[in-house]
Structure formats: C-alpha cells, structure tokens
Amino acid sequence: MRCPKCGAFVDDGRDVCFMCGTNLKNPNMNNNMNQNNQNYFNNNMNQNSQPVSSGFSNGSMNAYQNDNKFNGLNNYDNIYNSVKKNDRDFFDFVSDHKILVYIVLFVFVVLILVFAANRYTKYKNKEVVLEPVIGHLYFKPDSSFNLQNSSNDGLTYSISNSQGSNCLFKISTGTSDSSNYVQEYFEAKKEELEPQRNETNLTVVNNTQVYTVQEGEMKNTINDSTWSYMNVFYPASTTTTEPTILKYRYLTTTYKSLHYDIELTNSNNDASCAAALDNFILSMQFITDDTSDSE
C-alpha cells in the first residue's frame, strides 16, 4: 500500500511510514501529533539527545516536499530508478534487452546446428580405405553369405539359408603363363558340366541336364574392369528344349600378372540368390595400391 501522506510504498502490516513517520494504524493520532508539534521519531529521546541529522520532523519534511525532492509517487519512481541504475545485475540487463538477448540466443542455436550438420556431413562422406580381400581384389559379400572355405589361393561363400550349396560363389587366383588362359579356363568348365549320360547307350538322362553357354566380355561394367564371362543356361523342365534358366556364371580376368576366376552358382534359379550374387559382383574392384601383395 501507499502512505496517505507522502505516497511512499509501505509493506502491508506496517504501522508507520518509513519515509515520513505517519501513523498508518491510527490516522487521527497523526493529526494530534501535528497539532502538538510532536516528532514521532524523537518522542523517546532525552533532552540531551541531538536530533537525527537527516531529520523527519514536520518542518523538515515540509521543506523537503517544498523543495520538490519528495513528490509522492513520482518521487518514489525517481528513487527506485536511481537505485536500479546504481545497483544493476545480469538479470536487469536481460530484462531491459529481451529482444537483443533473443536474437543472440537464436544466432547461437543456428551456429550450433550448422556446426553439427557440418560435422555429420564430413563423417558420412569420410572416404573409406578399401583393403584387398584376395590378391588385389576387393569385394563385399552380401549379408546373406557365409565364408565356407578359405585358402591362400581361393575363397568359397555360400548363402546362409536352406539353399546351402545351391547358392554360392567361389574366387580363386594365381599366376598363369598361357596366352590363351581365358579360353582354356572356359573349356575346362564345360567339361565339368557335361550332362550325365547312360553308360550303355550314351543318351541324355533328362532334358534339364542339357546346357547352352553364352560367352563374351563385360567391359567397363564392374568398376572399370574388363571381365570375360560364360553364362550357362538350362531348360526349365524335361518337356522344354529352350534353355532359359541361368544356373552357372563364370568370370575371369587378369590383373598385375595374376588371374582371377569366379564361379557363381544359382542351381535353384532363386530370385533372392540372383540378387545377392549381383550385389557381390557390383562390389568387386581392384585396389591400385602398388604395395598390395598377392596372397
């Protein structure tokens, strides 16, 4: 509340105004005190006591008011603002500059997000150093394949489900002095694939064992490498003669005096197996680091 006489703010429950000494509990007493020219703050002082230098007698208070130094509410605001200016802290600054503080916080958050995005982009685009798996050849098997056999000159991976050996690939490498290595390699594979025949009359047991080959070169299709290929097709059933099912594929090439032979098997003509084998083929590439040694 405010003092009815001087307008100063007074805490609720106080009996006396701390500025002018007005009795807030019994306003009538104030009139009697003024009539008797009494000073509330000096009532209990002895005769030898000296008045307080600042003085709050009616005369001095009137002079203070007449000097326009104490003007009710306006004077209180002046005093409050004066104290506020002389005793400011961080929270006062924030309260007076809210817009500026919001702008600074917004810019700070944006900078943090830009920094985080930059770090994440660098992490995602970090160049992966590839190491050769066999010889100078790098590849990444599909997650459905497991390594079955491993040696210095060969690896075998088969699919990790019920198909087992019906879906697999083999890689072998080594040196060769033959100038006609590719043709010799394909001829050897054809002999392995000769259909089973009856020993008596040498007739084909059933139509599904008769194969047809398709040969050629895969140029610049596997990470800028040139591979020779031989695809082996079989009829779909004993009643058909058109070979439409691709069961075996053979790839071969040479790199840095080594030959690389790859056998791919999909004897059940399974679509998921075909996709997994394709993923493996597309992952193949030769590591050009001259320090890489063949295994």
Burial of 133 (C-beta count, 10 Å sphere; 0-12/13-18/19+) = middle
Task: Give me the DSSP letters along 8-72.
Answer: -B--TT-SB-TTT--BSS-HHHHHHHHHTT--GGGTTS-TTPPPPSS---HHHHHHHHHTTS--H
CATH architecture of the domain 137-195+205-286 equals 3-Layer(aba) Sandwich (3.40)
- Give percent of the chain with pLDDT exceeding 90: 28
pLDDT given at position 86: 54
* C-alpha to C-alpha distances, 253 to 48, 173, 175, nearest whole angstrom: 122, 10, 12
Tokens representing 87 are 């005793």
pTM, entire model: 0.55
From the number of C-beta atoms within 10 Å of its C-beta (0-12, 13-18, 19+), residue 123 rates as exposed
Q: Please check the confidence at residue 132 and state whether its pLDDT lies above 50.
A: yes
pLDDT over threshold 70, residue 178: yes
Mean per-residue pLDDT, 214-236? 85
Q: What is the mean pLDDT of residues 83-105?
A: 73
> What is the structure's pLDDT at 292?
41
Q: Which residue has the higher pLDDT, 171 or 224?
A: 171
Sketch the domain layout of the chain as residue ranges: 1-87, 88-126, 137-195+205-286
pLDDT tens, position by position, 22-31: 887 776 655 5
Picking from 166-180, 185-199, 228-242, which range would have the lowest pLDDT averaged per residue? 185-199
CA dist., res. 254 & res. 174, Å (int): 9
Alpha carbon 11 to its chain centroid, in Å, reads 57
What is the structure's pLDDT at 192?
A: 87
**Least confident residue range of 5-14, 268-277, 284-293:** 284-293
Of residues 139 and 93, more confidence is placed in 139
Distances 108 to 101, 102, 103, 115, 122 between C-alpha atoms, Å: 10, 10, 9, 11, 21
